[in-house]
Amino acid sequence: MGEWLEATVTEKICWNDSLFSLRFEAPLPAFKAGQFVRVGLDVDGERIARPYSLVNAPGETPHEILFNLVPEGPLSPRLARLEAGDTLFVHSSVTGTMTMARTPEHRRLWLFATGTALGPFLSMLKTEEPWQRAERVVLCHSVRHVSDRVYDDTIRELLKRHGNRLTFVPLVTREVVAGALRERIPAALASGDIERLAGIALRPEDAHVMLCGNSDMIEAVQQQLESRGLRRHRRREPGHITVEKYH
C-alpha cells in the first residue's frame, strides 16, 4: 500500500565524515513520533530503499533523518552525497511500533539508543505525550567517539524544558570524556551506573524500556532486564520492553 513521494533535500548536516542528517520537504502523511519512513534513490534504473527513523516531531517541518555512512552499503553512501536541492524518494507509508501510543502504562520511561538510534527518541521527547505519561524519563545514548555526539542543542533544550524529570546519560565507549560514562550500555546497566546517575531504579513495577539501534546492545540489555523480571511488550501480552533493531 501507499506510494513513492518525491522529496527535496533542504539541508545536509555533516556531523563528521561518516555521520549525517538530511532535512527534506515531502508531502508525508501524519505519523507518530518514533516511526520510520522508507527512503530511496534510483540507482542504475532500480530503486534502492532502506528504513530511516524520523528525527522531527509530528507536525514539525522539514522532515529529518540521521544516518551513518556504511561504506559497503548500497544506499547510505549515496544519501551522504546528496546536497540541498537534490531529489530523493520517500514512501508514504510511515510505520513502526516503537511509539507512545503502543506503550502500556508506566511512571518511568527508559530510552536506550546506540548511534543514530537517538533520532526517534528525540522525535518522541519533543512531543507532549511522554511528559503527560511518565514522571521521569532517562535517555541513554551510546557512541564510540565524542565526534559521534549529535543534537546536543536539542538535548540541552529538552533538559531546560523538563528540568529534573529528564536525565540524559551520555556514554562514549572509546574515549575519556568528562560527564560521559566510558562503558557500553549493557555494562553500564549491569554495574548500576545508569541507575545511579538517574537516581532511580529500573524495576518492573513502574518502568517501560525502549531499546533502539544495534542488535548486540538490544539483546544484551533485554537479557539483563528479563533477569530482573521485565519482559518484551506485545500487543496481546503487555510487557515492559519495546525494541527496534537497525542492524
Ligand X SMILES: Cc1cc2nc3c(=O)[nH]c(=O)nc-3n(C[C@H](O)[C@H](O)[C@H](O)COP(=O)(O)OP(=O)(O)OC[C@H]3O[C@@H](n4cnc5c(N)ncnc54)[C@H](O)[C@@H]3O)c2cc1C
What is the rounded (10 degree) CA torsion for 97, 199, 151, 189?
-60
Beta carbon of residue 52, minimum distance to ligand X (angstroms, whole number): 4
Closer of 97 and 224 to ligand X (Cβ)? 97
Q: Which is nearer to ligand X, 168 or 246 (CB)?
A: 246
Cβ closest to ligand X, residue 56 vs residue 103: 56
In the bound state with ligand X, the residue whose beta carbon lies nearer, of 115 and 130, is 115
Q: What's the Cα-to-Cα distance from 120 to each of 113, 141, 178, rounded to whole Å?
A: 9, 12, 26
The nearer residue to ligand X, 24 or 246, going by C-beta atoms, is: 246
Q: Closest approach of Cβ 76 to ligand X, in Å?
A: 3
Q: For residue 174, give the C-alpha cell.
A: 572509546
The grid coordinates listed for 206 are: 513502574
SS3 content of the chain, % helix, strand, coil (to 5): 25, 35, 40
Instruction: Pick the closer one to ligand X by CB: 35 or 167.
Output: 35
- Judged on CB neighbours under 10 Å (0-12, 13-18, 19+), 16 is middle
The residue whose grid cell reads 563528521 is: 16
Helices 118-125 and 152-162, packing angle to 10 deg:
30
- To the nearest whole angstrom, how small is the minimum distance from the Cβ of residue 164 to ligand X? 29
Could you tell me which residues are beta bridge partners of residue 210? 111, 242
CB of 101 to ligand X, least distance (A): 17
Amino acid identity, position 119: G
Q: What is the DSSP letter of 99?
A: S
Dihedral (C-alpha) 193, 198, 204, 205: value to the nearest 10 degrees?
Answer: 150
With vertex at residue 188, the alpha carbon angle to CA 183 and CA 192, rounded to the nearest 5 degrees, is 150
Q: Based on CB atoms, which residue is closest to ligand X, 69 or 190? A: 69
Helices and strands per DSSP (H, E), number in the chain:
7, 11
List contacts with ligand X (CB under 6 A): 36, 50-53, 65-68, 70, 73-76, 115-116, 119, 244, 246-247
* Residue number of the CB atom closest to ligand X: 73
Tell me how far, at minimum, the Cβ of 39 lies from ligand X, in Å: 8
| Least distance to ligand X, CB of residue 129, Å | 20
* CB of 247 vs ligand X, minimal distance in Å: 3
